[in-house]
Amino acid sequence: MKYQNRLSEVDELQKEINKYRPLSRHALKQLKEYYRIGLTYSSNAIEGNSLTESETKVVIEDGITIGGKPLKDHYEAIGHSEAYDLLYELAKNKTITEKDILQLHKLFYYRVDSKNAGKYRKQAVIVTGTDFEFPSHFELKTLMRKFTAEIPALKKKFHPVEFASLLHIRLVTIHPFMDGNGRTARLLMNLALLQEGYPITIIPPVVRSDYISATRGANKGENQPFINFISCMVWESQKDYIRLLKSLSREKK
């Protein structure tokens, strides 16, 4: 499926969102908790996690395990929720560092694999469904330092949604971790968006094949289809955010 570039529509919706600001502490808390479940469920589901959205909510909010579901799936839900909290702390800054990326991965992954959480892989990686050759593990430290050093320049050059998309592309193309690269990339993308005042952007599992296809193209330098795809996801997430803002404003009255 071909996705059109929605940057102009994104800009219009962002103006509408900004009219509701500043938000009350209560509204901010409600929105944060709403997106905690949505982002955790969707990001994990894209990678094959078997928990449904309602099961993810039960695991995170009630601390109850789901019978018949793998322990790893529970760990991924709890870990992603912890990384989500860090996301909001990091969003208070205007910079993104190598340390930030490593911390996000570590929080998400340490229950699953404590030895590799927050650390670059030490062996080659092969990803099923693509013939793209990812960098050697010997190159990772240099590539990641170069990438993070370029972040301020990329931020100045591109539209915030393009910038966030490019951070996602760069990270998954370097593929610095043994596992959790996609989820870390989506957290990184959302960190960039949050820092610029955009709402959390969710990639629904229903568009997983389109997302993977766009990501594979971006691995090989075809960035525009991926940027277009993300602009559509931001646009859809903004519409949902405005719906929630309207609901909260009615409640206030």
pLDDT, one tens digit per residue, over 31-45 is 999 999 999 999 999
Is 0.75 surpassed by the pTM of this model?
yes
Full DSSP string of 40-102: HHHHHHHTT----HHHHHHHHHH-PPPTTS-HHHHHHHHHHHHHHHHHHHHTTSS---HHHHH
Tell me the CA end-to-end span of the chain in Å, nearest whole number. 42
pLDDT tens digit sequence for 195-236:
999 999 999 999 999 999 999 999 999 999 999 999 999 999
Q: Mean pLDDT for the chain?
A: 96
Q: Which of 9, 17, 76 is nearest to 42 (CA)?
A: 76
Catalytic residues: 175
Whole-number Å distance between alpha carbons of 129 and 184: 20
Helical axes 71-90 vs 181-195, angle rounded to 10°: 30
Distance separating alpha carbons of residues 197 and 31, to the nearest angstrom: 13
The pLDDT of residue 129 is: 73
Whether 17 shows a pLDDT value over 90: the answer reads yes
Q: 64 — alpha (psi -120 to 50), left (phi > 0) or beta?
A: beta
Q: Which residue has the tokens 């490593």?
A: 102
Angle between helices 98-109 and 181-195 (to 10 degrees): 130
Question: With contact defined as beta carbons under 8 Å apart, do 79 and 110 qualify?
Answer: yes
The CATH number fitting domain 7-252, selected from 3.40.718.10, 1.20.1090.10, 1.10.3290.10, 3.20.20.70:
1.10.3290.10
What pLDDT score does 131 carry?
Answer: 77
Average pLDDT rounded to a whole number, residues 83-106:
97
Closest CA to 155 of 94, 114, 80, 106: 94
